[in-house]
Amino acid sequence: MPQSLSQIIVHLVFSVKDRQPLLIREIRPALHAYLSVVLRDHECPAFRVGGVADHVHLAFALSRKTSVSDLVETLKVSSSKWIKQQFPRFPELTRFSWQRGYGAFSIGESDKDKLIKYIDEQEEHHRAKTFQDEYRIFLKKYQIQYDERYVWD
């Protein structure tokens, strides 16, 4: 086959270290826009980036030239530095960091709009459910085996 083609839609989730609610409302729109730009710069067009005070959700098309693990490392390292530089008026952010792990789930094109809606409704969704509960549901839905002792840091 002379041409390489792919369409891999990824739902990526990761949280602030220890799930601290540091992503205050004032910084979220800029952070989400920044993460979208990082995705675009890696040829991974973002469909939606959103989240709440303790975690983010990203829906994007994975470039055929990029691995998920490399992309996640770039997203986390660059955004952590960016947060510290952009928001010096919030002293609690001077030691900001993301958790070590992440969840990356593939979805089909037919589920993309549902995922976008889900990300858009994060504020409402998390009035009744914690990040940990939400994440366990994803692990079960995608049939991912895990050990509870090593999921949280």
Question: Read out DSSP for 66-82?
Answer: --HHHHHHHHHHHHHHH
Whole-angstrom Cα distance, residue 22 to residue 118? 21
Average the pLDDT over 83-99 and give the result: 94
Would you give the end-to-end CA distance of the chain in angstroms? 44
Structural domains for the chain: 8-150 (3.30.70.1290)
Q: What is the pLDDT of residues 61-81, one digit of tens each?
A: 999 999 999 999 999 999 999
pTM above 0.85, yes or no: yes
Q: Which residues neighbour 107 within 8 Å (Cβ) at sequence distance 6 or greater?
A: 9, 10, 11, 59, 115
Q: What is the pLDDT of residues 96-115, one digit of tens each?
A: 999 999 999 999 999 999 99
3-class DSSP state of 4: coil
- How far from 26 is each of 11, 49, 94, 111, CA to CA, in Å? 24, 16, 16, 30
Q: In this structure, are strands 103-107 and 55-62 parallel, antiparallel, or unpaired?
A: unpaired
Whole-angstrom Cα distance, residue 44 to residue 46? 6
111-117 contact pairs (CB < 8 A, 24+): 111/9, 112/9, 112/47, 112/59, 115/9, 115/11, 115/47, 115/48, 115/59, 116/47, 116/48, 116/59
Whether the CB-CB separation of 16 and 99 falls below 8 Å is answered with yes
1 falls in which pLDDT band (50, 70, 90)? low
